[in-house]
Every structure is written in structure tokens, then in C-alpha cells.
Amino acid sequence: MPNITVDHSAGLDDRIDRAALAGAVHQACVDTVSARTAACKTRFRRADETVVGDGTEPADLVHIEIALLSGRTEEVKKALTEAVLALLPTHIKNPEGAHFSVEVRDLEPGYKSARG
């Protein structure tokens, strides 16, 4: 915890600095929700096809989902959402025209994790 998923359109493959973005999101989680850096886990998923609006214009998008153990206030989750949304364009080359979104949510009560 936190479990972080970065979904991005294929057009951003060569424009996202994945290591720097993950590190910045991890730091935002540490600073905002008191997570431990070692507990932050990020995965990147490429979306080969994306459509924005009526689909007539090409558009790149990035959506970040951050799933946390329950117990954070809505205000804290909102602060994390805003912090991550603000840092997103700084880790993408030529971010103009791209669509960015962030969602912070609670993990389900049945969530468990383990290390092998």
C-alpha cells in the first residue's frame, strides 16, 4: 500500500519518464498520506486504443489510480489527488493537449498482500 496504477495511451510511450513519475507519486503519498516509500507499488499499463470526446481528434491521456488502505479523510485524499495531478505534466515530454486524471480510492476490506 499504496497500489498505484498508471494507465496511458500508446502515444505517450516514449514521452513518459516512468521512473521519475513513479518516484514523484511515491513521494506525494509519503508527504500527503504518511505512506512509507518502501510500501508504494506502481505499475504502468499502456492502452493501445483510447478515445476522448467524439473521437474525431487524436488525444493522449494518462489516468492514475491510487488505492490506499481505508482510514484517510476525504480532505487528505483530495489533497493527494491534487498533488499528483499537478506533478503529472512535469514527467511527460510535450504534455500539451494530453488529458490527465487522478483517482484516489480506498482498497476493499478484503485486500491482503504478501512478499514471496
pLDDT band at 102 (very low <50, low <70, confident <90, very high): very high
Q: Is residue 82 packed enough to be buried (19+ CB in 10 Å), middle (13-18) or exposed (0-12)? A: middle
3-state SS, residue 8: strand
Higher-confidence residue of 15 and 57: namely 15
Q: 104: which strand partners?
A: 66
Tens of pLDDT, residue by residue over 35-85, are 999 999 999 999 999 999 999 988 899 999 999 999 999 999 999 999 999
Instruction: For residues 82 and 68, give the distance between their C-alpha atoms in angstroms, rounded to a whole number.
Output: 16
Instruction: Compute CA distances 19 → 11, 89, 102, 111, whole Å.
Output: 18, 14, 18, 26
